[in-house]
Amino acid sequence: MSRILWGGATSASQYEGGFTDGKGLDTQDCRAYLPRTSNATTETRLLTQRQIEEAKKKDSPYYYPFRVGTKGYEYGSADIELLKELDLDIYRLSISWSRLFPTGEEVEPNPAGVSYYDKVLNKLYNAGIKIFITIDHYAIPLNLVEKYGGWTSIKTVAAYMRFSSFLLHKWGAIVDYWLPINEINAGYFSPFNGVALVKPENGEYNYSDIFLSLHHQFIASAKTIKLGKELKVKGKFCAMISCFCYYPLTPKPEDNLELVENEEINQWYCMDVLAKGYYPYYAKPFFDKHNINFEISAADKELLRNNTCDVVTFSYYDSCICTADENKNQTAGNLVVTTKNPYLKATEWGWQIDPMGLRTTLHKIYDRYNKPVMISENGLGAKDVLTSDQKVHDQYRIDYFKAHFDQIIKAKEENVDVIAYIAWGIIDIVSAGSCEMDKRYGVVYVDADNKGQGTFKRYKKDSFEWYKHFIEHQRERSRSK
Ligand code: BG6
């Protein structure tokens, strides 16, 4: 088995900014920053027609953090120097769809966008850092949502294929890993982020819209893989889910059954289709129960069967608890709400820290799919303080890394084919869940606050040196084996 690659990641909307040079408005650009209250958290996680109308106003009084990100569009080159200094094996980044295809309907991509990514990707390639591209990370051109209903329409699949086909043709020779859709199961538990569904003002999402949109994303993924293989691109193709490592609250059979149902639909459903190539046995009864109706043609079935992913990847931030009991003591998790686990500590945002749960997840996912596994996102979202001598003493992040890395290395020794670990938000970025700058993951600090005030200068945190030495040490160990 090859050694584990150690990396870092950002996503275009959370990092780049650069709301210029012909970039079109996308779904994340419509999310305003609202100070943290329980209402604000819910509001900013959803996209409503009212918010879209507000976001389109030239004189809206709100601050839109995803239009600024942490100014990667400006700092890209200097940031790659920092990644080189860290000696990362691999860097995961996403491409802003609306920077290349502002409305999603253009035939030719925006030259300024192409030139930006050309510089970034070539610089990474020349630095010997492996490139992992997420094609769609939670952001689609707003025009596709307004005109066609986003992923509910097959027209969005066609638009996505123009986008992904351009990427494969242009950078197929230098990219090592391709991921068609970020955390695809988010379409179910966070329909705005995952499948760009606009939330009805006074109602719930429609289950049929969600599952039809997911089907269209499966088709878009499989078509992209098919094209990539036809073009004989260099890279491997990934699929990605968010994993939660579920525990039953008690040994009560009801709690355990609740766990099975949660795992199936929240966690495995999308990966079952993308890694195995067919809809799982539990889909039909779930569809019947929720009146979900859409046609899966014979051609779709064949496409899915013949174009499964090469690598199974997942994000992991916290573990979750399942109970059939109505009275739950709740806490937050990555885009989900769960029950508190008395054995675990939680982050300031309530996400329950569980390194051993990561090892458990590695075993479960490898056992279920039997394909190489990659942790494509993990990290600690915490408030950091820049001291007057411009240091960030983030021992808590180093402790978090150590605890998780120990478990990953153990899983590898237990024969799970873990091929890479990618630290989320390696350079500080805007939080996707809460739209805050306060919630930082990076080993590089960016001087900016929740309202975009600051110099945006970069400072190495203590965790920077720690991660750098860890990577060096891992490389030496594998050389001496
Ligand atoms: C994942 C997303 O769900 O979690 C990232 O792919 C996101 O975009 C990450 O940033 C952490 O979530 P948050 O809400 O802390 O930014």
| pLDDT one-digit tens code per residue, 202-212 | 788 999 999 99
Residue 378: is its pLDDT beyond 90?
yes
For the residues 341-357, what does the mean pLDDT come to?
95
27 lines ligand 1 (CB under 6 A): no
Distance between Cα 244 and ligand 1 center (Å): 13
**Residue among 193, 315, 349, 450 whose CB has most ligand 1 atoms within 8 A, to mutate:** 315
Question: Closest residue (by CA) to atom 4 of ligand 1?
Answer: 334
pLDDT of residue 40: 46
pLDDT of residue 201: 81
Annotated active-site positions, please?
A: 183, 377
Ranges of each domain in the chain: 5-480
**Cβ proximity of 431 and 381 under 8 Å:** yes
Give tens-digit pLDDT for 464-474. 999 999 999 99
334 lines ligand 1 (CB under 6 A): yes
Tokens of 19: 């709301």
Residue 420: is its pLDDT beyond 50?
yes
Which alpha helices (H) appear in 22-153, and where do they start and end?
38-44, 49-56, 72-86, 97-100, 111-126, 142-148
CATH code of the region 5-480: 3.20.20.80
Three-state DSSP at 420 gives strand
The residue among 427, 425, 449 whose CA lies nearest residue 436 is: 449
182 lines ligand 1 (CB under 6 A): yes
Name the phi and psi angles at 6, rounded to 5. -115, 130
Name the phi and psi angles at 366, rounded to 5. -70, -40
pLDDT of residue 329: 66
Give tens-digit pLDDT for 8-37. 999 999 999 999 899 999 999 999 998 876
Give tens-digit pLDDT for 220-232. 999 999 999 999 9
Residue 38: is its pLDDT beyond 80?
no
- Per DSSP bridges, beta strands 330-332 and 337-339 are antiparallel
pLDDT of residue 48: 87
Distance between Cα 334 and ligand 1 center (Å): 7
> How confident is residue 45, by pLDDT bands cut at 50, 70 and 90?
low
> How confident is residue 334, by pLDDT bands cut at 50, 70 and 90?
low
For the residues 98-122, what does the mean pLDDT come to?
98
